[in-house]
């Protein structure tokens, strides 16, 4: 018997702007987004927390924000830095500060952990998050039994346009390739006209694709069950 496929659709950058918040909520209420990762340092984090309380079916985790880079002229250039990534003490202090701010805003523990631009894949950030800041026991992206899928993204690894990945056809292809068991599909929906980011116009396209009725039909056809990080814990996984 084929093992069931469970899918968590997680939206990154919750709280980054009002437009991103609006896009994530639309992709949740009218589409297939089940979870979101909150950036507590950004101006609209408080609004995101209020929206999360108004939509309790949306799981909310912490999107640890330590810096951002952009690929230009064949090199990665830093847009901003929160703390030096090689300074473990500084990273540990900042991660715990962001966790405390998450708890203050949301009034609950995060259902999962990840980081902006995946900086926790490298040391020492990896150890800080894997050791469980604040004694958390929640899934950490890339380091849990939940398979991570980052294929739903409208740019290549070097920031070049890749629009076909975030079309309905592109998402259907990605869904068909998911393995048995639990998977996380990462997405970045939003309405980001006011956002200074290298990933802007693609966000509204993601919203359209994630709420397209054809996607739910494909999920049903392929017997892929939509779940969230909260339901993952509830089911004892």
pLDDT tens digits for range 27-58 = 999 999 999 999 999 999 999 999 999 999 99
Q: CA–CA separation, 142 vs 186, rounded Å? A: 12
Classify domain 5-223 by CATH architecture: Alpha-Beta Barrel (3.20)
Which residues does residue 140 pair with via DSSP β-bridges, in sequence order?
A: 113
Q: How many residues does the chain have?
A: 237
pTM: 0.95
The predicted-structure confidence for 117-137, as pLDDT tens digits, reads as follows 999 999 999 999 998 787 788
Q: How wide is the angle at C-alpha 42 spanned by C-alphas 21 and 119, nearest 5°?
A: 100
Residues 24, 10: Cα–Cα separation, whole Å: 9
Give the chain's largest Cα–Cα span: 51
What is the rounded (10 degree) CA torsion for 208, 213, 218, 223?
Answer: 120
Q: State percent of the chain over pLDDT 70.
A: 98
Spatial neighbors of 76 by CB under 8 A, at least 6 apart, are 69, 70
- Rounded to an integer, the average pLDDT of 154-168 is 92
């Amino acid at each position: 018997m084929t093992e069931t496929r469970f899918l968590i659709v997680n939206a990154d950058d919750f709280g980054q702007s009002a437009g991103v918040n609006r896009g994530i909520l639309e992709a949740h209420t009218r589409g297939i987004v089940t979870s979101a990762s909150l950036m507590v340092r950004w101006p609209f984090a408080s609004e995101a927390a209020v929206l999360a309380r108004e939509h309790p079916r949306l799981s909310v985790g912490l999107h640890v924000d330590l810096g951002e880079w952009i690929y230009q002229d064949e090199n990665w250039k830093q847009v901003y830095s929160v703390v030096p990534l090689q300074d473990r003490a500084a990273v540990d202090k900042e991660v715990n500060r962001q966790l405390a701010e998450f708890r203050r805003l949301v009034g609950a523990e995060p259902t999962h952990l990840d980081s902006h631009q995946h900086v926790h894949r490298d040391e020492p950030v990896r150890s800080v998050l894997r050791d469980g800041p604040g004694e958390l026991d929640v899934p950490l992206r890339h380091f849990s039994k939940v398979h991570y899928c980052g294929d739903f993204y409208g740019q290549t690894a070097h920031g070049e346009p890749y629009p076909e990945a975030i079309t309905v056809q592109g998402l259907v292809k990605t869904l068909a390739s998911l393995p048995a068991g639990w998977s996380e599909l990462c997405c970045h929906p939003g309405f980001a006209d006011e956002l200074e980011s290298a990933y802007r116009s693609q966000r509204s396209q993601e919203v359209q694709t994630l709420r397209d009725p054809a996607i739910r039909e494909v999920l049903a056809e392929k017997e892929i069950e939509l779940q969230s990080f909260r339901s993952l814990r509830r089911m004892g996984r």
